[in-house]
Amino acid sequence: MKRHNFSAGPCVLPQEVLLKASEAVMDLNGSGLSLVEISHRSKDFVDIMEKARSLALELLGLEGKGYKALFLQGGASMQFLMVALNLLEKRAGYLNTGTWSDKAIKEAKIYDDIYEVASSKNANYNYIPKGYDIPTDYDYFHCTSNNTIFGTQMKQFPDCPIPMVCDMSSDIFSRQIDYSKFDLIYAGAQKNMGPAGTTLVIIKEDILGKVSRKIPSMMDYKVHISKSSMFNTPPVFAVYTSMLTMEWLKNLGGITAIEEINQKKAQLIYSEIDLNPLFKGFATKEDRSMMNATFTLANEDLKDTFDTMCKEAGINGINGHRSVGGYRASMYNALPLESVQILVEVMSELESKA
Ligand SMILES: *Cc1c(COP(=O)(O)O)cnc(C)c1O
């Protein structure tokens, strides 16, 4: 049976990427050796790393603008503390829009004072706060572009008077925004870019070197930049597969092309959620995420019926996060429009049955 993978992460990747990645595990570029058994200092792998780094900047429109791309380990969660270690001297401002921002705040607080410029915690994060002020004398401002768990997404970003740092783990490469507004962007690969195991970090170099503390080498962005993202053994499989996904996206027409498809997918599911009386959307309409649609059943008694129907249709991974309940359909770049069509058909079939 054809599967429709709505998993929130790790998540769906393009079939052709999975195929090429598995071929490289057996034989990289006809060398007779596996991607995972050659030296990371070999020309084959150095070329892969360099291609991945330049593709990331190219797709985001950041080439030649003073940015460096790194593929690090430790997940987006490691970036919560690396950002603070490298940039936090006095005080930073954080926008609290969900579990992940909250965790980023918690880690940064270990090092210094954090000011929450605004928070939607009191409403279980079902909206994005707006109209807040960002103090001009802080070290940086941190926000989360897409709240994977709650299904909200920042549609606008502030004109930030200080360096702007953004956790884009779950919507990087999904929509056209002015990425040059940001001074540091990070994203765990396993949502929109590749398998788990690497984190893309994009840094405007001139924001570094301004804190007085000593930074351990592995945590120091400057060290990783000076070693071209090869300070120690990089996660070769995750970097290679991410590179393949970026190539796939480029061949498709880049972010502008995928954004059109992502909009279609989101419109399809949200119009079903709005029109079908059996379902209720969780996130405030104007802040709804194009990547993660969160919704609940108006009548919990239908849960078993709906779950069975989904299972029979090959739908996988739509259970909501425990802090929201209900359902979450994650529609990352590689999820085909057809999968959303199937889900919407099942939702409307439930209505005709009920
Ligand atoms: C998944 C996720 C994280 C955590 O990523 P890890 O790589 O597991 O550390 C952080 N932020 C956001 C927005 C996420 O969706």
Q: Is 331 helix (H, G, I), strand (E, B) or coil?
A: coil
Rg (CA), the chain: 21
Architecture field, domain 255-353 = Alpha-Beta Complex (3.90)
Atom nearest to 77 CA in ligand 1: 9
- Output the CA 349–ligand 1 centroid distance in Å: 34
Fold of the 15-252 domain: Aspartate Aminotransferase; domain 2 (3.40.640)
Please report the pLDDT score of residue 61 as a whole number: 98
93 has which bridge partners?
A: 115, 141
Confidence at 1, pLDDT banded by 50, 70, 90: confident
Could you give the C-alpha distances from 281 to 205, 251, 274, 275, in angstroms and in order?
41, 34, 7, 11
Q: Decide whether any atom of ligand 1 lies within 6 Å of the 76 Cβ.
A: yes
What are the domain boundaries of the chain?
15-252, 255-353
Q: Whose CA is nearest to atom 10 of ligand 1?
A: 76
Q: Decide whether any atom of ligand 1 lies within 6 Å of the 81 Cβ.
A: no
Q: Is the pLDDT of residue 112 over 90?
A: no
Four-point Cα dihedral 101, 216, 110, 165, nearest 10 = -30
Residues of the chain above pLDDT 70, percent: 100
pTM, two decimals, is 0.98
Q: Whose CA is nearest to atom 14 of ligand 1?
A: 169
Please report the pLDDT score of residue 162 as a whole number: 98
- Tell me the two tokens of residue 54: 């330049």
For the annotated binding site for L-glutamate, the residues are 41
Atom nearest to 148 CA in ligand 1: 15
Summarised one tens digit per residue, pLDDT across range 41-69 is: 999 999 999 999 999 999 999 999 999 99
Please report the pLDDT score of residue 286 as a whole number: 98
Average pLDDT over residues 219-245: 98
Neighbour tally for 197: CB within 10 Å: 21
Q: Decide whether any atom of ligand 1 lies within 6 Å of the 119 Cβ.
A: no
Query: Terminus-to-terminus CA distance in the chain, angstroms?
Result: 26
Residue 111 CB-half CA count within 13 A: 23
Catalytic residues: 100, 167, 191
**DSSP line for 96-126:** E-SHHHHHHHHHHHTTSEEEEEEE-GGGTT-
Q: Is 264 helix (H, G, I), strand (E, B) or coil?
A: helix
Rounded Cα distance, 58 and 173, in Å: 11
Pocket test for ligand 1, best of 169, 172, 186 (most atoms within 8 A of CB): 169
Confidence at 245, pLDDT banded by 50, 70, 90: very high
Summarised one tens digit per residue, pLDDT across range 151-196 is: 999 999 999 999 999 999 999 999 999 999 999 999 999 999 999 9
